[in-house]
Chain A
Amino acid sequence: MEFLTALLKSMPGAVGQGLIWGIMAIGVYITYRILDIADLTVDGSLATGGATCVLLALNGVNIWVATLCAILAGMLAGLITGLLHTRCGIPAILAGILTQLALYSINLRIMGWGTATGTQATLPIRVDNYALLVSSRHIRALGLNNPLLLLVLLVAAVIAILYWFFGTELGCALRATGSNPSMSRAQGINTDTTKVLGLMISNGLVALAGALLSQYQGSATIDMGRGAIVIGLAAVIIGQVLLSKIFHNFALKLLSAVIGAIIYYIVIQIVLRLGLDPNDLKLLTALVVAVFLSIPYWKGRYFTKAVRKGGNVHA
């Protein structure tokens, strides 16, 4: 009973974290599912978003403007990865790793801006002194200052904007690029441009998640994005496994990534309450993602009786 009460008490926090990481998971969905690129920039750009937002807020910039700047910083990171990939011919996965590594130093510099040493690994910000958008302090509050309210609205806005964008000519060109690059070029689509654009949008969303996360937990830290890609993938995959049968609409598919992230954090809460050492979390996450990624392969290899016509149809 005591266990259940404690677990229930931790639910709002899990949902809050899930919503923030859900925005990040939507970013991963865009590169991994739509563009068919595994982009590892996100481990760095998440912290870039957090660092940029907190630094600007501490210097008196309006919190909305600071969050917007964080998005732009993330898009810049995506632009670098995109240019390394398309203009320099570096494989996408390696281009992402290079940017991510470079961002580690850059993030230290951002957080150390104006200090004596010039670098810093944590940048705290107190909700008492600054008007932050979201804070875990109010996660159980019964009022408009409860962060869940704003997070739900933000998630809805992100999904609405992306739903619109991927229905436009440009958005369709981006989807076509991920679906079939040679066909896209034959239809006059500059696939280099669409890839760069996709990486920018994705990392902009990841940086938004980073900005929200740093406000929520009250600090930006250098390692806040470590393993972010795996958490994002976990959310995308959990959402897909559980909801792909009922969610066919594009907006709902994005929503399923968010729901996947929420479920992920609820499960984390449960296993932590059951006594799992927090240090083993990343091992557990990696295992879960590895297993779920293997399922389609195993299914195709060992459990298919006859060759189905039409090849693979999962979108």
Chain B
Amino acid sequence: MLEIKEIWKTFNSGTVNEKQALRGVSLTLEDGDFCTVIGGNGAGKSTMLNAVAGTWTVDEGSISIGGVDVTHLPEYKRAPYIGRVFQDPMLGTAPTMQIVENLALAARRGRPRGLRWGITAAEKEFYHQMLKNLDLGLEDRLTSKVGLLSGGQRQALTLLMASLRKPKLLLLDEHTAALDPKTAAKVLELSDRIVAENHLTTMMVTHNMRDAIAHGNRLIMMYDGKIVIDVSGEEKKKLTVHQLLELFSKVSGSDEADDKLLLS
């Protein structure tokens, strides 16, 4: 479903701030894979997700989603294939627009937008039912401005928007990092549910090793712009945080990185 081949990305090339963020990353996800991505700050996790989403284009290598080469497509042209939830709850929704208007925008992802009504009566009823089933307390606030919602509600809404038109790939970029633990757990649970119900191919970046182990069928760890650990299937099911740390110090060749990872 997703095929990343040898992608490279350098920021601020030729200056003192030069940073090789991705150094030859390759990754293939099969249909229905749920891959968690971990790594310390600056390891390249979010950079890899942004490369796939098309925030900018990569320097070298290629990316294809569901057989379509998207390497040179701008962000908005990749949107039909990709659902996205950002780390910052503010980024995923339009705060000055209503809840239903946000959903209606997402329902039209990847379709030409013309002079038909931006939202229909049948749609409103559908969203009402959908929100009711999710039990987020949003079904009675359909016409509230999204700017009035809490961070957790916004992330839940963004998740719904990302999956409303079934994407070929769902990208979750530390989408629970800005939430309190209780809300984070709820949003993660909702993510699992949506991924399972829609059979979505998913990549989830997280700082939390336990979450990375508990969710998905595959786990990769990044270090210094490369994928250094890749476990899946039975091996991943049996993985513990302790083992993961050991694996990491072996691959990276240092013990101090343990603290860096745990603290971050």
Q: Which residues of A contact B (CB under 8 A)?
A: 165, 167-173, 175-176, 178-180, 182-191, 309-313, 315
Contact = CB atoms under 8 A, between A and B. Distances in A.
B118 A182 contact: no
B262 interface: no
Contact of B113 (A173, A185, A186): A173
Nearest to B86: A182
15 contacts: A167-B117, A167-B118, A168-B114, A169-B108, A172-B118, A175-B94, A175-B97, A182-B91, A184-B105, A186-B84, A187-B106, A188-B76, A188-B77, A189-B79, A311-B147
A191 B97 contact: no
B97 A186 contact: no
A187 B80 CA distance: 8
Interface of B: 53, 74-77, 79-80, 82, 84, 86, 90-97, 101, 104-106, 108-111, 113-119, 145, 147-150, 161
A145 to B, nearest CB: 36
Contacts of A171: 118
Nearest to B84: A186
Nearest to B106: A187
A169 B113 contact: yes
A176 B116 contact: no
B35 to A, nearest CB: 20
Contacts, number: 97
Contact of A189 (B76, B90, B93): B76
Contact of A187 (B53, B77, B105, B149): B105
Given A169-B114, A187-B161, A311-B147, A179 B96 contact: yes
Contacts of B75: 185-186
Nearest to A165: B115
B96 to A, nearest CB: 4
B77, B90, B96, B108 pick with most chain A CB within 10 angstroms = B96
Contacts of B116: 168-169
Nearest to B92: A183
A290 to B, nearest CB: 25
